[in-house]
Structure 1
Amino acid sequence: MNYRLIGQAMRRLQIYAAMVYFSPEYDEELMAAGLEPGVMCYFGGRAAAMGAVPASVIHAAFYNFNPERVRENIPKAWTLASPEKLLEARLMAADRALKRLLGSEVLGSPQVAEAAGLARRAAMSAATEGRPLAASHQELDWPDSPHLVLWQGLAILREHRGDGHIAALINAELGGLQSMVSHAATGSGFLPSFAQSHRGWSGEQWNNAAEELRVRGVLDADGALTEQGTALRAGLEEDTDRLAAGPWRVLGDAGAQQLAEIGGELSTALVAAGCLPAEDVFFPAKR
């Protein structure tokens, strides 16, 4: 099975799972459940599958957030709403956002039902040793509607891939902030300004991490990736793709291709419908 093609497929498919965190419905539902606006909703909704864990556990699992940003919101979030209530709110947000962006006719199609079955099968086959977010999401009850089964299945696969990516970063001896600075230098994903502010890092901390990467030979004097840095980031993506391939093998080539095609079309439609923020959050190629 081609690891690179799996990686390309997952980068498209994860839009279907991740779009909820950018939707207005997400903050609406989690604030209605009791949380405060802002990053507390992100931490509370995404980490709720692990239960009312302390800030140190969330920081370990989320990796590239400033631990102070986590401690500002956790464990306070668990005093405002139970993890169970937050999981219900997150699923409601996903349901509302998907219906607004894609419509009930698309979501009720046989293709979505087929993709849902494939995603669930792959997600439940995923080995979760050393993957806390994937393991906790795998234990959740499944919704009834196919479009939400697809959402949950892709969410598990996304967390499985993310846990593996963290393992690759640790193996490469890149800390959370260094990983963000070096990834920003690739010109993909989050813009540095958003990554820095949303993850809670100061300008001084960001610049210090960049200097550490320059000393290591990953960045040049202008903050661009060196040849060594380019190879490092490429190797990280290759390792991540390889570590994420396991759940796809159970589908076989035909099933994997079918999930990639149906899910990819849905993700493309979501982007066209405006599921990603309009403000300067991503590099242009991502929008």
Structure 2
Amino acid sequence: MFSDSIPLIASRCHEVGDPVHLLCYFAPEVDEEFTSAGLEPGHMGYFAGRAAPLGRASSAAVAAAFFNFNPALIARHLPRAWDLAPPERVTQARLTAVDRALRRVLGEETVRGPEVAEAARLARTAAEACAPEGRPLYAAHAELDWPREPHLVLWHALTLLREYRGDGHIAALVGHGVGAIAALITDTATGQSLFTAEQVRLHRDWSTAAWEAETAALTEAGVLDTTGHLSEEGKRLRSRIEAATDAAAAAPYRALGAERAERLIALCAPLRDAVAASGELPSHDTADEPVQG
């Protein structure tokens, strides 16, 4: 029987690893490299950068895989982006940007250090244990060639683990009958999101009318209380979704083993802290910055 601690370990690994991955959305080097490759600044780089491993995917396919963006927003950028820069060029630009960003944020000594190399080996072992069935974004990213330098191996592995978890999270949301806007509203209502509800609404491009209609429906269903916070039923719903997400994300950490997974957490924690201290990631106080992750 599998240890009950593994889903919790999966959640903790995500907590320490995700900020390192998120540099590929928020570091200034990213827009610089995407613009140099031919893309337009802003959302186009996010959609094209994350979707590029899928090939010349349609906007509808990307909207389905990304789940919580207004499909009309994605359609303004895809598939037009592929005429400005083919997917292979976009993927290379993203990796170049991440290389630059990690070297700047973490410093050359850390990037070249034995801890990053060890973390890269452990994260790659976990990522390569993921099964692709039902995980379209993970599967597409897993077909990319592995980088050679340890800091990029680590970033790529964390990206694979993040997309694997994200695919499972979407399945949990769908399985619990929670749609795109409802997922965003209930997530921000937990009070644990990096972003305010208004930030998320604006940058996922949902209209005020659509947002208010979904809020009203969630209130009527008893998921939200009359103040817009999660009701007790809403808290139970989000708890079930997160538990299902953690369970679905556990397989690579079972393969890695609890001891090595704990070591990966310990190695990634200082990297997470360095990214947080850099100020690259948005917060409630940066409402004018694009929310993309």
TM over 0.5, yes or no? yes
Distance 1:8 1:25 in 2: 28
**Structure 2: 5+ residue runs without aligned partners?**
289-293
When structure 1 is superposed on structure 2, of 264-273 and 93-102 the one drifting more is 264-273
Show the counterpart of 2:80. 76
Q: Deviations over 1:199-235 (max 9, x none)?
A: 0111111111111111211011211111100000111
Show the counterpart of 1:134. 138
* TM-score of the two chains, using structure 1 as the length reference: 0.96
Show the counterpart of 1:275. 280
Give the one of 153, 156, 162 matched to 1:152.
Answer: 156
Contact 1:191/1:280 (<8 A) preserved:
no
CA RMSD of aligned residues (A): 1.2
Distance 1:37 1:209 in 2: 31
Aligned length: 282
Distance 1:115 1:30 in 2: 28
Distance 2:262 2:84 in 1: 43
Contact 2:189/2:230 (<8 A) preserved:
yes
Q: Which amino acid aligns with 1:26?
A: V
Distance 2:201 2:258 in 1: 39
Offset, 1:13: 1.0
Q: Which amino acid aligns with 1:199?
A: R
Show the counterpart of 1:16. 20
Distance 2:48 2:161 in 1: 20
Give the one of 231, 252, 256 matched to 2:261.
Answer: 256
Show the counterpart of 1:38. 42
Q: Which amino acid aligns with 2:56?
A: A
Please state whether the residue corresponding to 1:125 is helix, strand or coil: coil
Show the counterpart of 1:65. 69
Show the counterpart of 1:285. none
Distance 2:119 2:269 in 1: 10
Show the counterpart of 1:26. 30
Q: Percent identity?
A: 45
Contact 1:180/1:195 (<8 A) preserved:
yes
Contact 1:113/1:147 (<8 A) preserved:
yes
Q: Deviations over 1:162-195 (max 9, x none)?
A: 0000000000101111100111111122211110
Offset, 1:281: 4.7
Offset, 1:277: 2.8
Q: Which amino acid aligns with 1:22?
A: F
Please state whether the residue corresponding to 2:147 is helix, strand or coil: coil
Show the counterpart of 1:116. 120
Q: Deviations over 1:19-67 (max 9, x none)?
A: 2201111111011111111111100001101111101110011000001
Offset, 1:117: 0.7
Matched, 1:206 2:211: yes
Give the one of 223, 228, 232 matched to 2:233.
Answer: 228
Show the counterpart of 2:202. 197
**Structure 1: 5+ residue runs without aligned partners?**
283-287
Offset, 1:104: 0.8
